[in-house]
Structure 1
């Protein structure tokens, strides 16, 4: 069965997608930042530093739409910051794939990753190394922007999540080189790390200005809700990016491959099993937020302000999931290579 013969399942998404009205302000500024960091090719002379993307590749990713869909209520300042963060994550992904995954250079990947850890300090006063590539320049810039005093509590957790993200890239490469398909039970946890899903709760927090109240943040219910929230993101991405990852990058770290191997079924059967699993995680998120969270709120005795803040965060999380779903469905980044990119309409939004 060829990639073109595989039927991609339609994933369930109960939350309507909305678009941030600040979307038009993102594109030009993001292009400038991507050029300044060296992610995007400019009018450089021959021999200048190698960029990660050409301009057509940059716009085909539709990262401005991703940001505006996932954070529909964010202020312009919060949207800009999240947009740069999204660009950085994709720049790391594409740079790592071309420099190390496609070449099988595990030793180089380990050196690159070890050095990148120096750009993720826990100490706010730590001095960063001099960046030597676009990924390092982007992260060095973000470190200056991500942690204003009002968000100082982010530093340890967010940089820790980013450390897991870049470490997971090395593990993915090691798996692919060894032909080791991850175990199904192991993979769910691993995918949260390799998708940078642990950063998503903080993106929602930044966009909404709301935090999950500390009194329930570490409860079983909230931990399970966050797991389901993060699982949808990475596992749904595995379906959307199946061709890109498996057939173009020869990656074994994909839910469809994991199910195909673990259950000894066909690719098409694995694709539908993956969709069932993604839907189950979304239903669990809904169940926890609608049925288990309210009794917990009453039991703990959250006050009115805490309840308002929790509802604002949950609304932001739902918007984040619906925006990701829209991006997976409509972004040219996930269109079959060599095939036409049809115009799609998602909840009234035209996707070019």
Structure 2
């Protein structure tokens, strides 16, 4: 059932698909690089990483990035996915361990590769050092702070989800929607648009209420699509942290009905997203190209998540 719903949502998505011509070469490079930093990858693990296609995901979100920059973006994407896997479900890192990982990662982002923290070491640390090297070198201080704040928000959300899961407390719908905006890491991907395009935005523009609302709706769209795709896994290990499960519990309806409710919510939100993007005001000739690149990047995050979810071996989806 969920496969049919996912395909119908993809058909209803008005955002055109994009893919970097460098995506597949970078994907091959990425698997070898992960072995080089000491991740314990046997043949089966290498195959899972290759089938997951994290570089193709980055290539869908940043289709115009230079090949070297796409390597950086794919490295960062892989770091977030590996952290997600490490923290996921009841068998993952404990809330104190997640908090230590957060503190160590933020110290590295703020202070540089010499910053050390006892809760953050090994391959995950080395991977973040590599992924952060070029953005730290090239991007202005205000951008680095903005990116680091987004990472902090994401890891705080991951910690809050782990606390709730450990306590056996499933969230209501409104609580879940806000928490999901943190755990999705979409807000982390938005500053990376500026790295990929070389067009950093002033803080006043990046945080403009209309652009922030565009980002919120884009986050919801990609998160809810992912929730439908990962429903089977989240039913087993997610502690109710899935919009389908939250709606089913709150409204007292079967999961099959809740899937359709999420799909309808997604379609309505897509209409609002498209209308709001068209209503973004001009910020003047010096900034409008960068604003357009940002809006295109948020749209690519939505459509890229849709297409990557249906092609990645990370999800049990059978879609043509």
TM-score class normalised by the smaller sequence: 0.7 to 0.9
1:74·1:207 contact (CA, 8 Å) conserved in 2?
yes
Residue 307 of structure 2 is matched in structure 1 by 326
Aligned with 2:59 (options 64, 68, 77): 68
Using the size of structure 1 for normalisation, the TM-score is 0.80
Give the 5 Å matches for 1:230-241.
230-241=219-230
Instruction: State the 1:105 CA deviation.
Output: 6.2
1:175·1:252 contact (CA, 8 Å) conserved in 2?
no
Q: Structure 1 residues 28, 126: closer, same or farther in 2, change over 3 A?
A: closer
- Structure 2 residue matching 1:88: 3-state secondary structure: helix
Aligned with 1:287 (options 271, 275, 291): 275
Aligned with 1:129 (options 109, 113, 116): 116
Instruction: State the 1:318 CA deviation.
Output: 2.0
2:79·2:127 contact (CA, 8 Å) conserved in 1?
yes
Instruction: State the 1:206 CA deviation.
Output: 1.9
Aligned with 1:118 (options 80, 87, 104): 104
1:17·1:319 contact (CA, 8 Å) conserved in 2?
yes
1:225·1:284 contact (CA, 8 Å) conserved in 2?
no
- Cα distance in 2 between the residues matched to 1:219 and 1:250: 34
Residue 136 of structure 2 is matched in structure 1 by 147
- Cα distance in 1 between the residues matched to 2:2 and 2:228: 14
Residue 349 of structure 1 is matched in structure 2 by none
Using the size of structure 2 for normalisation, the TM-score is 0.88
- Cα distance in 1 between the residues matched to 2:137 and 2:167: 43
Instruction: State the 1:183 CA deviation.
Output: 1.9
1:208·1:316 contact (CA, 8 Å) conserved in 2?
no
Aligned with 1:180 (options 159, 169, 175): 169
Give the number of the structure whose alpha-carbon radius of gyration is greater.
Answer: 1
1:213·1:310 contact (CA, 8 Å) conserved in 2?
no
- Cα distance in 2 between the residues matched to 1:317 and 1:111: 31
Is 2:239 the counterpart of 1:258? no
Instruction: State the 1:110 CA deviation.
Output: 1.2
Structure 2 gaps, min length 5: none
Is 2:295 the counterpart of 1:314? yes
Instruction: State the 1:199 CA deviation.
Output: 0.6
2:76·2:132 contact (CA, 8 Å) conserved in 1?
no
1:128·1:140 contact (CA, 8 Å) conserved in 2?
no
Instruction: State the 1:230 CA deviation.
Output: 1.7
| RMSD, aligned CA | 2.5
Instruction: State the 1:333 CA deviation.
Output: 1.1
Residue 187 of structure 2 is matched in structure 1 by 198
Moved more, 305-314 or 323-332: 305-314
Residue 22 of structure 1 is matched in structure 2 by 22
Instruction: State the 1:193 CA deviation.
Output: 0.7
Is 2:48 the counterpart of 1:34? no
Residue 81 of structure 2 is matched in structure 1 by 90
1:81-134 deviations in Å (ceiling 9; x for gaps)? 11001111111111223xxx343763xx41343244122136445732275333
Residue 273 of structure 1 is matched in structure 2 by 261
Residue 223 of structure 1 is matched in structure 2 by 212
Residue 91 of structure 2 is matched in structure 1 by 103
Instruction: State the 1:174 CA deviation.
Output: 2.3
